[in-house]
Chains A and B, each alone.
Chain A
Amino acid sequence: MNDSIRSTQTDVLIVGGGPAGLTAARELRRLGVARVTLLEREAETGGIPRHCFHPGYGLRDLRRPMNGPTYARRLSDLAIAAGVDVRTETTATRWSDSELGLLVTSRLGVETIRATAVILATGARERPRSARLVPGDRPDGVYTTGELQQAVYLHKQPVGKRAVIVGAELVSFSAALTLAHAGVEVVSMLTEQPRVQTFPTVPIALGLRQRFPILTDTSVTRINGDRTTGRVIGIEITGPPGSRTIGCDTVLFTGDWIPDHELARLGGVRIDPASGGPLVDTSLRTSRPGVFAAGNLVHPVETADLCALDGKALAATVADFLDHGPGSADVLEVQAGDGIAWVSPGLLRIGAPAPHGRFTVWPAQALAGVRLEVRQGTRVIKRKRLLDGAVPGRPIHLVSDWQSGVDPAGGPVCVWIRGN
């Protein structure tokens, strides 16, 4: 069966046509790289924003607010206009055994694409109910936001009448908006955290008019289904007032991200066990020479514009790699200290500022007022107060102005937070 496997060669092969991949591709062309090939497994490029029909996209990269699909189309058009070889309905399935390259499947067949550099920008997904080990029946009516938005916006499918949203992150409010659009009443939103996992202004900024109770410190203990209809009839929850059942016909599991890291892992790149994404340095290099990563694959999750800016920063790294080779492998670890799950990039390349001048710091626990510190050994090189506290699900942006204060021979840098 392998007689007809074709083999082609490109300069840079990008896996994933979301904001990160599309932007990296476009910028690489702009920097004069001759052959840039982008693989997207879906029928259209654009990634997650394709089905997020609400405003809030494009602010920091295109400097113009727009809704998700418009943003997805805009980034796609720009990439094609820049001369990127965009290949849709094309899936990278595994690494080629010999040289750097990937095996891909498309309607054209199975083919090996070899490349001088590979960029992984495969994004992240929400943990579904099963991965969260929520017990109970297995009825219809249980969704992730990804599935819900595609059903509602792309396919105009009926959903339910009364929904409970699990999670209170940015994406959870986006889901609430989708439900409102589909005429579904949100019965309540709940989170295991002691507070909402985004900024209070978000629902307003998104234009969310519907009001519903938000239950904090609350978790789902069981899903109840009707055995005859096979549909959700309620969920059991436990929170501060104790345990109870909420009647609903739809349950939405939102947030709780896991990077789509299959290719990264199969490629043998080092993974940050806390984020699940490839461990990258401030130039977005992975542990494997010639393999780079950007977007929500490395920091699950940030907003799309920051993923796009990753792509832009990465294009410069990769262009430099094509001209001058891998460069110095000297890096310092950026460790996640107390109160922090992970920091991205997790490695500091001396002389290379973090992409778009920010580190993403993911809190491990909720804290009210917060002091954040960056230390090298016992030396504090940055201190920051966060009036709004910290909560898992809402990344903290740590501006990288302290990088010049790092001693290249001083060992790992540690970021930690503490409540007031």
Chain B
Amino acid sequence: MDPDYDLVVVGAGVVGAALAREFSLTGLRTLLVDAGDDVGCATSKANTAILHTGFDAKPGTLESTLVSRGYRLLADYAAAAGIAVEPIGALLVAWDADQLAALDGIDTKAKKNGYLETRAVGASELRELEPDLGHGAVGALAVPGESIIDPWSPPIAFATEAVRNGVTLQLRRRLTSVEASDARTLLSFETGPNLTTRWLINAAGLGSDLVDEMFGHRRFHITPRRGQLIVFDKLARPLVNHILLPVPTAMGKGVLIAPTVFGNVMLGPTAEDLTDRRATETTAEGLATLLEKGRRLMPKLLDEEVTATYSGLRAATEHDDYQISVDEKQRYVCVGGIRSTGLTASLAIAEHVRSLLAEVGVDCELIRESKPPAMPNLGDQTPRPYQDATRIKSDPEYGRIACHCERVTRGELRDALVSTLAPTSVDGLRRRTRAMNGRCQGFFCAANIQVEYPVVQASPGGNS
């Protein structure tokens, strides 16, 4: 008897969704499963939303290659799907002589990574570029390619394309064990029926080492590295023109200030090594650290109101690179340890994994053209429906603003509920429309919206 699927992708974060999309263009019968109630609802929803050039990756690593390739792939995909990207560039800001000296090393590294557009910026030019920076900045390295992106839409777009190409999506399905035999692997889940597959790809993010263990491996251990962030009000947006990066330290990239495509400014992330894989709370110490750093970086930012705080967990491992490998005997691919660049690299990771499978003889030629779905524009740089007179004329629902802070119209809320990947939670509706995500956090609109645009919860294992 044939297995139920040719391929099961475990984990529907941005990486798993990109994988499902990639294989939806092949002839493989593919299933995408996730333990959560939406795609992209773990680490992929809580990051700093930067489309990295890969200038500062460790040269020679797979991560370095996939980030720079993924940068181009995602920029193109985003343009085709209408996902907001703003190529505003980054400035690595040095605050003392040591840091200034370190910029040379970073510049060399960037060149090794194939990124050639860096440029040294002197103190006075820096002040012109970023007049609201705190006192004491002595210079910077400009990385013009660094961009900001809407982080919520990519996983939804990838999964939408996959589902439209015939991939099955099942939510609330936590994989609990696998039994690999000759021709197929039996999968058991916390909820819903067992099923069988020929191949399995582990894109389980923070759970990727656990899934790896199900196949008998002990190759890496995930240490959740928490990053807390503070999002400031849109009125802060004029203060910041670039992504303002600190000079990196051993613990990571440090605390940055960056605009978001939604028109806010964010400050973060922290880097805290934890053991609890679900510890996505914010802490008093974490927020205090950010405020203290922020006060030095840009004192005026702290005069603005805070819109949101959140935290995400990077899937860090003891290794310096992504953990991607093929276990041909068990027909298993591990795509683990995708820690702090996975959004950028997602499409390149998927492309890479398909080539690995082709190498071991899996018939996964592309048989379809990619058709990126048209995603609702959540970015502030291109007109949103409420600003579009022509659109309102053709459908007045786009002129009826329901969420005032984020200016989300009834037309957009209605569309979200009938989209291919309709939200199954209020949070899902937030990520698809921005509604209730603004400065009032629902004071004005949340009660209305939740009653008038009710989401339907995902049933365990139910097809979407």
Contact = CB atoms under 8 A, between A and B. Distances in A.
Nearest to A224: B281
Contacts of B305: 127, 131, 258
Given A89-B400, A135-B281, A125 B392 contact: no
B442 A144 contact: yes
Size class of the B contact interface (CB-based, 8 Å): 35 or more
Contacts, number: 129
A157 B451 contact: yes
A99 to B, nearest CB: 19
A130 B438 CA distance: 11
Nearest to B441: A128
Contact of A1 (B309, B390, B439, B448): B390
Given A41-B401, A135-B286, A2 B447 contact: no
Nearest to A130: B308
Given A130-B308, A144-B441, A146-B444, A41 B404 contact: yes
B440 interface: yes
Contacts of B280: 137-138
B310 A107 contact: no
Interface in B121-164: none
Contacts of A143: 442
Contacts of A144: 440-443
B1 to A, nearest CB: 36
A138 B451 contact: no
A106 interface: yes
B443 A3 contact: no
A320 interface: no
Interface string B373-398: 00000000001001111111100110
Most buried by B among A110, A126, A262: A110
B75 to A, nearest CB: 24
Contact of A107 (B306, B308, B400, B446): B400
A93 B407 contact: yes
A369 interface: no
B306 A109 contact: no
Contacts of A41: 401, 404
B303 interface: yes
A157 B390 contact: no
A157 B450 CA distance: 10
A150 interface: yes
The 6 closest A-B CB pairs, nearest first, are A150-B447, A128-B441, A107-B396, A146-B443, A151-B447, A4-B389
Interface of B: 230, 234-235, 278, 280-284, 286-287, 291, 303, 305-310, 383, 386-393, 396-397, 399-401, 404, 407, 426, 439-444, 446-448, 450-451
21 contacts: A1-B389, A4-B389, A4-B393, A41-B401, A91-B401, A93-B386, A106-B399, A107-B400, A110-B386, A110-B399, A133-B291, A135-B282, A136-B281, A144-B443, A146-B443, A148-B447, A151-B447, A151-B450, A157-B451, A222-B284, A262-B235
Given A93-B387, A135-B282, 6 more contacts: A1-B389, A89-B400, A131-B441, A138-B282, A148-B447, A154-B447
